[in-house]
Amino acid sequence: MPNPFALTKSMEGDVAVISLDGYLDAHTAPQFEAAIQDEMDGGHTRIVVDCAPLTYISSAGLGVFMSFVEELREQDGDIKICALQPKVQSTFEVLGFAEIFDICDTRQEAVARFDEPHAATVGEG
């Protein structure tokens, strides 16, 4: 039986929130990729990915983040990641994602970060 995966989308002000639940791997990464592309096609370049219920992420899932971040930042947007479980967070940290992405403890913090001055963005300065 395949591992369960669910994705939900919502808006908080002008910030698109994508919540990931379960296993993000090679089989489910295309759903995540399509969700980000849909937001961009809709003009949303400020995206928070809420990983609170995410229990596993593979290199395919991580690749989705990498494939969009540069394009979003070129459009004055970004991907912010929040609520990582310890196992998933350690994967992000080992691979250096904490240096590339703004990783927040809560969804509220991640959404609020979009209203902070640009100098606070990870990777700039």
44-54: pLDDT as tens digits = 999 999 999 99
Q: pLDDT band at residue 78, thresholds of 50, 70 and 90?
A: very high
- Residue 122 lies inside a defined structural domain of this protein: no
Range of the domain at 97: 5-117
- Residue 94 lies inside a defined structural domain of this protein: yes
| Side-chain half-sphere CA neighbours of 82 within 13 A | 19
Average of per-residue pLDDT across 74-80:
96
Q: What pLDDT is attached to residue 118?
A: 58
Report whether pLDDT(13) > 70.
yes
Q: Which residues contact 124 (CB under 8 A, 6 or more apart)?
A: 118
The CATH number that applies at residue 36 is 3.30.750.24
Q: Which residues contact 39 (CB under 8 A, 6 or more apart)?
A: 9, 16, 18, 45, 47
| Model confidence pTM above 0.75 | yes
Report whether pLDDT(37) > 60.
yes
**Percent of the chain, pLDDT > 90?**
90
Q: pLDDT band at residue 123, thresholds of 50, 70 and 90?
A: very low
- Residue 124 lies inside a defined structural domain of this protein: no
- Residue 93 lies inside a defined structural domain of this protein: yes
- Residue 125 lies inside a defined structural domain of this protein: no
Distance CA 124, CA 78 (A): 12
Strands 5-12, 15-24: pairing is antiparallel
Provide the domain count of the chain. 1
CA-to-CA separations, 34 to 28, 83, 113, in angstroms, rounded: 10, 22, 24
